[in-house]
Structure 1
């Protein structure tokens, strides 16, 4: 019986400590993206890579960021507060062109695509004259 009590306490502690880990992303503020200063990016997002897509007919440039838990499990969840910030900055989502976890946004003549994944997101600036 004494061993059962010790095991019970250990299991209880394990459950309590694992339940206290953060499972959502946290945004501490925003800054402009290095590929286009008009695109807000969470300050605490870690830039992973910048890519020039000279061989892709529709993409001018892209940048990948890491932000833990941003897309939820398998990138299935839209980070609504981030998209609210994009809207406040003048970016309008072209909802009829959305493809799964890829969102297209437009501001003036500039079109960007944001691909949300689990723990990462990529921003692609589309070529001038891009048509859906």
Structure 2
């Protein structure tokens, strides 16, 4: 009888723990960004919007994508495999410039900012000389 009662008490705890497991994202491969072909983006990321910064002194253009759970819970966990892919294609993260959810990367003379949120990420290209 004690085993049955113990099992019944443990069942809700097990269900609760399973329900609190973080949801994960899945990258199915990479394709070129619609903004800049040198920037890889996950093929299963959905383009949400193209952004023009015609009157901004340091921002050139941007794109926003949706990919469920890419940033983990509340966007607190950057997708390390995506950043590894960026590094493999020549992008170097400027660690000292990072600001919370925003990561800055440089390749040749191009600097981009990638803002990671829970279900979206935005890539913004900065104008030449903006980070100098």
**TM, length-normalised to structure 1:** 0.84
- Cα deviation, 1:72-123, whole Å, max 9, x if unaligned, reads 1111111000000000000000000000010000000000000000100000
Give the alignment of 1:58-69 within 5 angstroms.
58-69=58-69
Task: Tell me the equivalent position of 1:41.
Answer: 41
| 1:61 alignment partner, SS class | strand
- Give the distance between the partners of 1:50 and 1:67, measured in 2 at CA: 16
How many aligned residue pairs are there?
Answer: 124
- Cα deviation, 1:32-66, whole Å, max 9, x if unaligned, reads 00000000000000000001101111110000000
> Could you tell me whether the CA contact under 8 Å between 2:22 and 2:73 is conserved in 1?
no
- Give 5+ residue unaligned stretches, structure 2: 1-7
| 2:49 alignment partner, SS class | strand
Task: Tell me the equivalent position of 1:125.
Answer: 125
Shift of 1:128: 1.2
- Give the distance between the partners of 1:130 and 1:121, measured in 2 at CA: 21
> Could you tell me whether the CA contact under 8 Å between 2:22 and 2:72 is conserved in 1?
no
Shift of 1:22: 7.5
- Give the distance between the partners of 1:47 and 1:131, measured in 2 at CA: 27
- Give the distance between the partners of 1:40 and 1:131, measured in 2 at CA: 22
- Cα deviation, 1:8-53, whole Å, max 9, x if unaligned, reads 6xx76xx39x74x981000000000000000000000000000110
| 2:77 alignment partner, SS class | coil
> Could you tell me whether the CA contact under 8 Å between 2:103 and 2:113 is conserved in 1?
yes
> Could you tell me whether the CA contact under 8 Å between 2:30 and 2:41 is conserved in 1?
yes
- Give the distance between the partners of 1:56 and 1:26, measured in 2 at CA: 34
User: Residue 90 in 1 paired to residue 90 in 2?
Assistant: yes
